[in-house]
Amino acid sequence: MQFFNIQDTINALKEGKVTSASLVKDSIDTFEKDKSSAIPLNAFLEMYDDAIAKAQKADDLITAARNGGQSALDELFAKQPLLGLPFAVKDNISVKGHRLTCASKILEGYVAPYDATVIARLEKSGAIPLGRCNQDEFAMGSSTEYSCYGPTRNPINREYVSGGSSGGPAAAVSANQALFALGTETGGSVRLPASYCGIYGLKTTYGVLSRWGVVAYGSSLDQVGLLAHTPDDIAKALSVMAGVDMYDDTSADLPGAASLADLKAYSDSEIAGLKIAIPKQFLETKGLMKDVGDVFNNVQDWLKAKGAKIDVVDLPVLDASIASYYVIALSEAASNLSRFDGIRYGRRVDPGEGYDELYVKTRSEGFGPEVKRRIVIGNYVLSEQFSGDTYKKGMTVRAKIQSEMAKLFESYDIVICPTCPTPAFKLGQKVDSPLEMYLSDLFTTFVNLARITSISVPAGKTSEANGSMPVGIQFAGGMFQEEKILRLAQSWEKDHPGCGIPLK
């Protein structure tokens, strides 16, 4: 892709310097080349076969409007603000007529019968779904190594993981194979790969983006998220996607969504007026790598130099967030994944002796080991003798996190902390140690539990000795405070363009 942000691409499309079809073709060519390379990135699993035709249609509209003069062009883009822009889609979001597998053998051969609301809204604004991206199976993981298609590698250094579970979408954007991408979050799956791949990743307030057409993992936590090179790109896409959807009862309007199309960075004096909190618990985390701490200090220095007030706050409940998250997420997953029974969706293994056998065989052969582990743990937690204990404890901790965060945001505008205690690790390093993998989510899950919003910002790199890998820092805001964190992130981007990765 020749362009790195939405505004530049729109300007070039309007001026006729580039066509939408050439953008799509460029990505398809890169995908084909990558597939046959010695160490494939494996970000995309498939390019949609109708993307070029959709792009040509967009080009026809743009050419006709250009012939009608500037006002016709402006009118066209006012109606379809993302016209002709290709985006990548995680493999758990439905795009009508295209395969959807959640990177699982159990959904082999499944074709989505309808569009997810987020897809329909992006297409209505003129954007073009480009292809399906890799992920951890059923979005369970933090490295995209738990995929039936093999891992997605990190574009900065292919020996490293891309992060997960939205590693495919993050790598696709980071490697300039897509302008922006849709991922999903249950406990950090957009922010974590964004930080590992050196790009921006936003988790919205629970409800802001419809979950209709998105395969459920932990329904009380799941949200669609956005990945891009700039906060402005994320804001532009969010402004056409956000809001109530009659197909999702948990959906909610985002106040001021329309104005996100024209995101303004905060001025220095506006930053001086911000009150910022840092949870003490995260600063004291034993596994916090020094390089990550150094990058975090730089972000604090940047904020302080502009006059923002920063306090370290004591939130002991955050120490229990990861335990609470895994109890709740796995319980909900065990329940949600019971629908994959060999009867209704995807793969079916020969029924043999009857339905019980069909069910057992299909699930045994269809699910990978990590998904099975989680179904077993989830059902164990939900079983009668434990439901009064473990699950309720998880829910009690969650309620406390929610109320403490709500209280905190009465006095503070933004909470900042690293996205992850460490940067991307080498492939294979944690894949056999589930607990270590789960600890990658130490700083992200409180956001999902509290149903608030947070963006991972590419803030720097580790030292050369540690591989010069990108480091992400989070700006988290209270419920529906997307504009606040996006504006601050845009100020960061203005002062540190392309901080995460060198744009070619």
**What is the contact surface with ligand GLN in residues (CB under 6 A)?**
139-142, 165, 185-189, 217, 329, 441
Helix axes 392-411, 321-336, angle to 10 degrees: 120
- Residue 195 falls in the annotated catalytic set: no
Closer residue to ligand GLN (CB): 337 or 358 = 337
With contact defined as beta carbons under 8 Å apart, do 254 and 289 qualify? no
CB of residue 176 to ligand GLN, shortest distance in Å: 24
Cβ atoms of 29 and 131 within 8 Å: the answer is: no
Q: How far is the CB of 6 from ligand GLN (least distance, A)?
A: 25
Shortest gap between Cβ of 291 and ligand GLN (angstroms)?
22
Nearer to ligand GLN, 24 or 215 (CB): 215
Give the single-character DSSP code of 222: -
Task: Specify which residues 181 forms β-bridges with.
Answer: 88, 227
Looking at the Cβ atoms of 186 and 491, the one nearer to ligand GLN is: 186
Residues 77/10, Cβ–Cβ less than 8 Å: yes
Catalytic pick from 54, 90, 236, 461? 90
- Cα distance between residue 485 and residue 271, in whole Å: 11
Nearest of 137, 162, 139 to residue 147 by alpha carbon: 137
Work out how close the CB of 322 gets to ligand GLN at its nearest, in angstroms, rounded to a whole number.
10
463: annotated active-site residue: no
Residue closer to ligand GLN, measured from CB, 279 or 378? 378
From 104, 189, 210, 239, the catalytic residue? 189
- DSSP structure string for 152-194: PEETTEEEEE--SSSHHHHHHHHTTS-SEEEEEESSSTTHHHH
In the numeric block, the tokens 């009508």 are attached to 96
The pair of three-digit structure tokens given for residue 293, joined into one six-digit string: 């701490």
Residue among 9 and 456 whose Cβ is closer to ligand GLN:
456
Q: Give catalytic status of residue 90 as yes or no.
A: yes
Tell me the CA distances in angstroms from 120 to 21, 227, 376, one per residue in order.
20, 18, 35
**Residue showing the smallest CB distance to ligand GLN in the complex:** 189
Pairing of strands 153-154, 309-313: unpaired
Give the shortest CB-375-to-ligand GLN separation in angstroms.
13
Q: What value does the CA radius of gyration of the chain take, rounded to a whole number of Å?
A: 22
CA distance 322 to 371: 18
Catalytic residue selected from 147, 165, 251, 440: 165
Q: Which is nearer to ligand GLN, 145 or 441 (CB)?
A: 441
- The answer to whether the Cα torsion of 384, 139, 364, 426 is positive or negative is negative
Question: 133: which 2 tokens?
Answer: 């991206």
- The catalytic site residues sit at 90, 165, 189
